[in-house]
Amino acid sequence: MTEPAPGPETVPSPDAAPRPAGGADLRLRYHAVSDVGRVRKDNQDSGYAGPWLLAVCDGVGGAARGDIASSTAIAELRQLDVPPTGDLLIRVTDGLHDAHESIGSQVDADPALNGTSTTATLALFDGRKVAIGHVGDSRGYLFREGELSQLTTDHTFVQSLIDEGRITEEEARTHPHRNLILKALDGLHEVEPDLFALELVPGDRLFLCSDGACGVLEAGRIADILSGGSPEYAAIELVRASLDAGSSDNVTCVVADVLTEEQAAADPTYAALQPQTVGAAAELRRRLPRSLFRGHRSGDTGELEPVDAEIPEGIDFAIQADPPMDPETYRYAPRAPQRFRWARRLMALALVLGLAWVGVASAYWWTQQQYYVAEADGMVVIYRGVNDLPGLSSVYRETTIPVDSLSESQAEDVADGLDADSYDDAEQIVRNLAKDAQLPVDPSLGGAAD
């Protein structure tokens, strides 16, 4: 979390800087970078940068394949990257609706994707202004004359707590539900995106990012990086700084500079610009499970195109022989006997058994760190273990709340088992049940009912 997001009405006025002479159109010089990060094994972010469109989508869903949602959304949104005609805000709304419908079609075709969704933050450019569309907790920023303004407001649970004055920005950074978003494109629930337009002036710099960046970088650090260098340098440096700051998420950054026609014509890098698709939407044929990002000079996104590998020396020597041996003849040719074959097999078996034991022990340890609230002998109790796995759960804490004192729906929920994120969360569930049933809260339970 950075500073609270101002609404579009608080964005710096375009009158603060001169308009280009003669009413000439403006141009965007852009760069996009997406990195899988140092913790996640796959990239569920997708990003796009083109002459008319900037967009960042952060997939949500875990096993439900958030990468599918984000890449599907970008595939629809990138169709907006054409010289705009008509009302910009209507085109942004239509683009988000098409992305929403396309995700719904994906879920209909594959029920395993049920639960997938994505954030979406985009800026549609027409040569003078941008129309911003926003759903979720990815962010858009404007850097103008050394001042950073957050254009979008997070659609998150913790942002609602901040708005109500219940927690501070600093507390939001470590809140257990900081990743709970309240709006997303999921193909099921229609959402009303935040929409507004912003006049641009030469020298403006736009920055769009996933929460892997804005969730760890403070506003001052973002402004410091955006204050210098090319869009490519800034985008790569923002990703590097996010990872160095401890981001455990995928990180996607899109940076674009606003140029006059004269500035664009004099910039050799502008003429070479091509639309960029990054992250899950890039559909690369080979993905690395871990990030290889090591600094701003390489700009490594953790994803590499395959290369034509040379045959290492000593491998497939028969095929390289002169004259070459027939591969099938070589396949069935006699081989020298292998020494210590049984010892090697025993060592391999011991290794497999050892790994299996470690896996079982780790799985059991994990189950004993889980808690849920359910029923035992007509009373509400806290179980330790995994719900619906007999033999791996047991009563950990008894309460004084009879199940028949709860409402019908609450009693059914307790009968099915209410999963908790932690033991403290399980205690909070019990406190809430006691409050709803108008029963005294067990004083041994920490805290108080909300």
The length of the chain in residues reads 450
State mean pLDDT over 202-221. 96
**Residue pLDDT, tens place only, 79-97:** 999 998 899 999 999 999 9
Q: pLDDT band for 159, please (50, 70, 90 cuts).
A: confident
At 66, which helix (H) or strand (E)? helix 66-77
Q: What confidence score (pLDDT) does residue 448 get? A: 43
- 426 pLDDT higher than 70: yes
| Least confident stretch, 218-222, 313-317, 389-393 | 313-317
Q: How many CA atoms lie within 13 A of 397 on its CB side?
A: 16
At 161, which helix (H) or strand (E)? helix 157-163
Asked if residue 69 lies in contact with residue 60, where contact means CB atoms within 8 angstroms, the answer is yes
Query: φ and ψ at 263, to 5 degrees?
Result: -65, -40
Q: Where are the domains of the chain?
A: 8-282, 371-436
* Highest mean pLDDT out of 13-27, 115-129, 156-170, 406-420: 115-129
Mean pLDDT (the chain) is: 81
State mean pLDDT over 29-42. 94
CA 431 to chain centre: 33
Superfamily of domain 8-282 in CATH is: PPM-type phosphatase domain (3.60.40.10)
Asked if residue 278 lies in contact with residue 47, where contact means CB atoms within 8 angstroms, the answer is yes
> Which region, left, alpha or beta, applies to residue 446 given φ > 0 means left and ψ of -120 to 50 means alpha?
beta
- C-alpha radius of gyration, the chain, whole number: 28
Q: What confidence score (pLDDT) does residue 361 get? A: 82
Alpha helices, DSSP H only, in 368-407?
none
| 252, 258, 261, 264 alpha-carbon torsion, rounded to 10° | -50
Asked if residue 30 lies in contact with residue 50, where contact means CB atoms within 8 angstroms, the answer is yes
Burial class of residue 287 in the structure, from the number of CB atoms within 10 Å of its CB (0-12 exposed, 13-18 middle, 19+ buried)? middle
Q: pLDDT band for 52, please (50, 70, 90 cuts).
A: very high
CA angle 167, 170, 174 (to 5 degrees): 85
Edge-to-edge, what's the strand order for the sheet holding 205-209? Answer: 26-35, 251-260, 205-209, 139-144, 147-150
State mean pLDDT over 379-404. 83
Q: What confidence score (pLDDT) does residue 78 get? A: 97
Of 38, 187, 159, 207, nearest to 99 by C-alpha is 187
State mean pLDDT over 192-201. 97
Q: Cα(31)–Cα(206) distance, rounded to whole angstroms? A: 11
Tokens describing residue 310: 């040379």
Tokens describing residue 4: 């609270």
The structure's pTM equals 0.61
Q: Tell me, what DSSP letter sits at residue 261?
A: H
Q: Cα(69)–Cα(47) distance, rounded to whole angstroms? A: 12
Q: Cα(4)–Cα(22) distance, rounded to whole angstroms? A: 37
Between 362 and 148, the higher pLDDT residue: 148
- 123 pLDDT higher than 50: yes
| Least confident stretch, 42-51, 182-191, 291-300 | 291-300
Tokens 């780790």, residue? 362
State mean pLDDT over 363-381. 85
State mean pLDDT over 104-116. 90
- 408 pLDDT higher than 80: yes
Amino acid occupying residue 431? R
- Antiparallel, parallel or unpaired: β 53-60 and 117-118: antiparallel
Q: Cα(62)–Cα(70) distance, rounded to whole angstroms? A: 12
Tokens describing residue 401: 């709340």
At 255, which helix (H) or strand (E)? strand 251-260
Tokens describing residue 84: 């705009």
Q: What confidence score (pLDDT) does residue 202 get? A: 97
**Residue pLDDT, tens place only, 306-362:** 333 333 333 343 334 444 444 434 333 444 444 556 777 788 888 888 888 888 888
Beta strand residue intervals within 295-376, DSSP E: 371-376
| Least confident stretch, 325-329, 361-365, 403-407 | 325-329
Query: φ and ψ at 218, to 5 degrees?
Result: -75, 160
Query: φ and ψ at 405, to 5 degrees?
Result: -90, -5
Query: φ and ψ at 152, to 5 degrees?
Result: -110, 160
Asked if residue 56 lies in contact with residue 254, where contact means CB atoms within 8 angstroms, the answer is yes
Q: What confidence score (pLDDT) does residue 443 get? A: 63
Beta-carbon contacts of residue 330 (< 8 Å; ≥ 6 apart): 318, 319
Amino acid occupying residue 336? A
